[in-house]
Amino acid sequence: MPISRIPSGIKGLDSLVEGGFPAPSVILISGTAGSGKTTFAFQFLMEGAKKGEKGLYISTLSERTEWMLRFMSNYEFFDPKYLEDGTIIYEDIGKDLGTLDNMKLIIRINEILAEHVPQRIVIDPINVVNNFVDNYRQFLFELVTLLKNWSAVSILTGEIKEGEKYPEDVGYTADGIISLLMKTEDNVIKRYIQILKMRGTAHSMALHPLDITSNGIEVLKARF
């Protein structure tokens, strides 16, 4: 019984993971500031929306919706109609951080999931929660447990420090971990993507060059 998969929406990525992300699954997208995590997340949601899959974007940043979408609207893959017609839902839990405790925050997220029943879920960025909850590792454990109870593909974005590969707090419980890397070579930052973990998947073990253009993120053919 082969594992069912869905396309990631990132050009050049699916062929590295046997055709797409396992469905259901919880995938961690990690990278430093500016590595393209939010862009990755929106490409993932837009890909689903084009096929009618309901998407949910949960922001932890307490920004007005327009603020973030303005930056995304520069990308050609971004089609605002899916936000307008409710195929993609934008929710902000930034205002709940600091007022809700661990358990209530989990309950709040569950309510959002129950209301929209999405097939693709994004929580971006997950690490900001660390500033507010008492026990971040417990929260992550319970959040991933919650997400695994919904038959969706969930993406958590995690900002890491330079030199880290992924946020170790959540690595063991994620089904997949993809690292967006920025390496300084000859005084220029080069972008790479690496699949560190993808359960049930014979995935690429290589560091693949990446480009971010007006088309969004694209995995390039390596030229080593």
List the interface residues with a second copy, window 31-60 (CB under 8 A): 32-34, 38
200 contributes a contact to a second copy by CB under 8 A: yes
Site for a second copy in 149-168 (CB under 8 A): 149, 159, 161-162, 164-166, 168
Reduced to 3 states (helix: H, G, I; strand: E, B; else coil), residue 130 is helix
| Binding flag, residue 117, a second copy (CB under 8 A) | no
| Residue 114 near residue 77, CB atoms below 8 Å | no
Q: Which of 81, 85, 86, 184 binds a second copy (CB under 8 A)?
A: 184
DSSP codes joined into one string, 24-44: SEEEEEEE-TTSSHHHHHHHH
Do the beta carbons of residue 158 and residue 29 sit within 8 Å? yes
d(CA 83, CA 75): 15
Residue 74 contacts a second copy per CB under 8 A = yes
| Beta pairing partners, 90 | 57
Nearer to a second copy, 52 or 114 (CB): 114
The neighbouring-strand residues paired with 181 are 192
Residue range at the interface with a second copy (CB under 8 A); choices 6-14, 40-48, 112-120, 128-136: 128-136
Q: Output the smallest distance, CB 22 to a second copy, in A.
A: 7
